[in-house]
Each structure stands twice: as C-alpha cells, then as structure tokens.
Amino acid sequence: MGQALDRVLTGKRILLGVSGSIAVYKAVELLRTLMREGAEVSVVMTEAATKFVAPLTFEVLSRKPVATDLFAAHQEMLHLTLPEEADVLVIAPATAHTLAKLALGLGDDLLSTMVLTASCPLIVAPAMDGGMWDHPTVQEHVAQLRARGVTVLDPIEGPLASGKIGKGRLTDEQTIVASIEACLLPARDLAGQRVMVSAGPTQEPIDPVRFLSNRSSGKMGYALAQAARERGADVLLVSGPTALPVPPGVRCLHVETAEDMAKALTTNFRWSTIVIMAAAVADFRPDKPSGQKIKKQTGAWKTLALAPTEDILHTLSRQRTRQILVGFAAETEALLPHARKKLQDKDLDLIVANDVTADGAGFGSDHNAATLLTRDCTSTALPLMPKRELADRILDALQPIIKRAAMPKPR
C-alpha cells in the first residue's frame, strides 16, 4: 500500500458490508486501514455479523452510524442512498448464505437489498469452512456472481475456526485493498497504444434496396473500443452499420461493405499498433449487384451468384510490420479446432473463440462467453459475462503479448 494507494483511496466512498462469519474481526482491521488511507467508509452489518462484533466497534472507527436493519433504514431510504453514494461496495467477510442470496437476487435484509440497488463495482471476499467453500452449490453461486461481473476474492488456505486446515480463510487485507484500488483506479495500461477495432456486420448490396448481411449488432466491437479508450489507448473504430452510439473519445469510420471495411482498415493499418477484428465481415457478396431495383417476378428466384470477399485479417497479417493482431472466430460447431485453425491460417497473436449458439451469448446479446487462444498455445475459457467485461478480459490477455512485442529482439 504505497503512495499511489493514498491517492486512490483519499476521499473515496466505500460501503463495507459485513456478514456473520468468525472473520468479522478482520473487517474491523480492514475498516481501520481504509480510514487511514483517507477513504470515507460506511458500514452495513447483517444481523448475524452483530453477534460476532458489536456495531459500536465499527461506529467508533468509521465515525458514522452503522446500519443493520432494513426497516429502520427505510425512513432514510438507506438501501438506496448508501449504494448510490458509494464508489465501491465491498462485502468482507461474505458467508456462504450471503453468497447464495446475492446469486439468487434475494433482498431480505439491508445488505442484500443494497446489492440489488447498487450500480457501483461489487467486491466480495468470502470466508467459511473449507468444506462449505468446496460445496458445488457455493461454487455455482460464485460462478454466477463472477459471470455478472462481481469480483469474488477466493478465500485462502490455512487453519480454520473449526481447527481443520482448508481453503476458507478470508483473503488477506492487502488483496482486498488492492482489489478496491483496481476498481477505483482506471487502468491506463494501453496508454501510447493505437488500437484499431472493427465492429458490426457488413452489408453487401444485391440491388439499391436489398443486401446480404448477418446478425452482428456491433456490441462486442464497441465494448472493445470503449474499454481500450478508457485504458488510455488512441482508438479508431471501423464500424459496419449498427444502431450504437460511438463511445466517447473514440474516432469512428462508418463503412457498409466488406470492401469498404477492408479499405478503411488497410489504410489505417500502418498507424495502428493493435488491431482487433470483432466485425462479422461477409465472406461472400453478390457477384453482380444490380444498379436498379430488381423487379418482383412470379415464381422462384433461382440463383444469386456470390463472389468471395477479401479476407481482411489475412491481408493485414501479410502486411504487418509490428502490429499485434487479434481475431474472433464465430463458430457453431467444433469451436476450438476451428478457432485454432483460424489463429494459424491468419497468423494471429490471439483469437477469441466464440460459440455463437451458446444461450445468451454471441450475436446481438449484451453478454458473451469465449475462449481466448494465443499463438503460444495458451487457452483461457471465460464464462458468460457482459460484453464490456469480456472486452476488458481480452485486453488483459493482450498485456503479456504487448510486453513481449516491446522487448528488443535477440540479434
């Protein structure tokens, strides 16, 4: 906890939720550390937590009343106002019962109701007996919370209150504080990078009023552009037709066809240091689009001759000087073998393997699940999560590749 942390926590409003585990006493120390670092901390305790440590301890140290009761709090609407004012909500310790309530969206006390009304980042630090932590139900709840973008800090191994050794101890204070810091400090790890992102579908004209296209909404690519911008990159978005607003601070070139997209990307390729192809580019286009609207005719329209479009990523990989190339693979079967083949054929640094048939993922959805495959054969399976969060996970995975690319090559 160095100087950077002082700056990060000073004046920040942290809502500390405490639930009923033997580890409640560690929340007292956590509160003291956060206060020492200049944070303003409001504490909410579950009834069970008050059995371990009296609210008065937290009241004295936080210099604020401690809220415990949903109904008493209703008068001041604390279940709404406290989360609304908070920069981050941390639940430490979180019991198995609390995790279950959060996963299920229950709101039967002040803390769980606040979680439902909070829009700030949520960090959860579980503590329980080792056997409980390993229970499939608890693990399911943890997975659900993570998929929703909640930061769940794994408990650590060691002696437990039961006398057994196991994984269930509240993670160390430094880890909790570092996670709070990470939520509050916008990562600037892409400062100095020039990131070109393609997004959305292409539209390939059949005639002036009809076209061939696909189901891409552009959400994945726009989320990547926004995340890269927020992490300090200079971002150029090359977008097929979508209904989405361009994220603040992002330059955007709007294109329609695969040919337009290829032109925009190749023209700006030398400028870029990283290219992420999230667009769903048409592989074929009508060979001879009609200059006039094709008239309705009786009977079937038997054939529409199609010509292949340029494989843009392939072209870019042959022109690369120092650029890092990231592709997506939208697959409906044999996800990983197909994605690996594309990674190799297109000579990419990383490919995002996307099973577009998975429930709630892929085209049009606000969520996505993917496996990240890298050139050096690492594979990271990511569960269903908001596209904005997946965007960050993809950019996280680029960090070692960026570092390697920056290292001087051996002579």
Residue 347 makes contact with ligand PMT by CB under 6 A: no
Residues 359-378 that bind ligand PMT (CB under 6 A): 362-364
Residue 218 makes contact with ligand PMT by CB under 6 A: yes
Q: For residue 215, what are its two tokens? A: 């189901």
Distance CA 146, CA 391 (A): 15
Residue 269 makes contact with ligand PMT by CB under 6 A: no
- Residue among 15, 10, 12 at smallest CA distance from 82: 15
Q: For residue 35, what are its two tokens? A: 């206060």
Residue 226 makes contact with ligand PMT by CB under 6 A: no
Smallest gap from Cβ 370 to ligand PMT, in A, equals: 7
Cβ nearer to ligand PMT, comparing 93 with 362: 362
Q: Rule CB under 6 A: choose which of 67, 273, 328, 373 binds ligand PMT.
A: 328
Residues 278-317 that bind ligand PMT (CB under 6 A): 278-281, 283, 309, 311-313
User: Are 168 and 136 contacting, i.e. CB atoms less than 8 angstroms apart?
Assistant: no
Q: What value does the CA radius of gyration of the chain take, rounded to a whole number of Å? A: 25
Q: Which stretch binds ligand PMT (CB under 6 A): 19-27, 293-301, 328-336, 372-380?
A: 328-336
Q: Which stretch binds ligand PMT (CB under 6 A): 43-51, 203-211, 214-222, 289-297?
A: 214-222
Cβ nearer to ligand PMT, comparing 78 with 394: 394
Residue 88 makes contact with ligand PMT by CB under 6 A: no
Cβ nearer to ligand PMT, comparing 43 with 313: 313
Distance CA 380, CA 377 (A): 10
Sign of CA dihedral 44, 118, 189, 373: positive
Cβ nearer to ligand PMT, comparing 150 with 329: 329
Q: How many CA atoms lie within 13 A of 9 on its CB side?
A: 26
For the window 171-210, what string marks contact with ligand PMT as x by the rule CB under 6 A? -----------------------------x----------
Distances in whole angstroms, Cα of residue 301 to Cα of each of 114, 203, 288, 297, 307: 59, 20, 15, 8, 18
Cβ nearer to ligand PMT, comparing 212 with 356: 356
Q: Which stretch binds ligand PMT (CB under 6 A): 6-14, 186-194, 324-332, 395-403?
A: 324-332
Cβ nearer to ligand PMT, comparing 128 with 356: 356
Q: Count the residues of the shown chain that bind ligand PMT, applying the rule CB under 6 A.
A: 27
Distance CA 392, CA 156 (A): 26
**Residue 293, number of CB atoms within 10 A of its CB:** 11
Smallest gap from Cβ 313 to ligand PMT, in A, equals: 4
Q: Rule CB under 6 A: choose which of 128, 220, 233, 350 binds ligand PMT.
A: 220
Cβ nearer to ligand PMT, comparing 103 with 281: 281
Residues 230-259 that bind ligand PMT (CB under 6 A): 258
Own/partner pairs, 146-151, CB within 8 angstroms, 24+ separation: 146/383, 146/385, 147/383, 147/384, 147/385, 148/385, 148/386, 149/122, 149/385, 149/386, 149/389, 150/102, 150/122, 150/123, 150/124, 151/121, 151/122, 151/123, 151/124, 151/179, 151/183
Q: Which residues contact 340 (CB under 8 A, 6 or more apart)?
A: 351, 373
Length of the chain in terms of residues written = 411
Tell me, yes or no, if 354 is annotated catalytic: no
Sign of CA dihedral 326, 335, 284, 208: negative
Residue indicated by tokens 């942390």: 5
User: What residues are labeled active site?
Assistant: 214
Q: Would you tell me which residues interact with ligand PMT (CB under 6 A)?
A: 200, 216-220, 258, 277-281, 283, 309, 311-313, 327-330, 342, 354, 356, 362-364
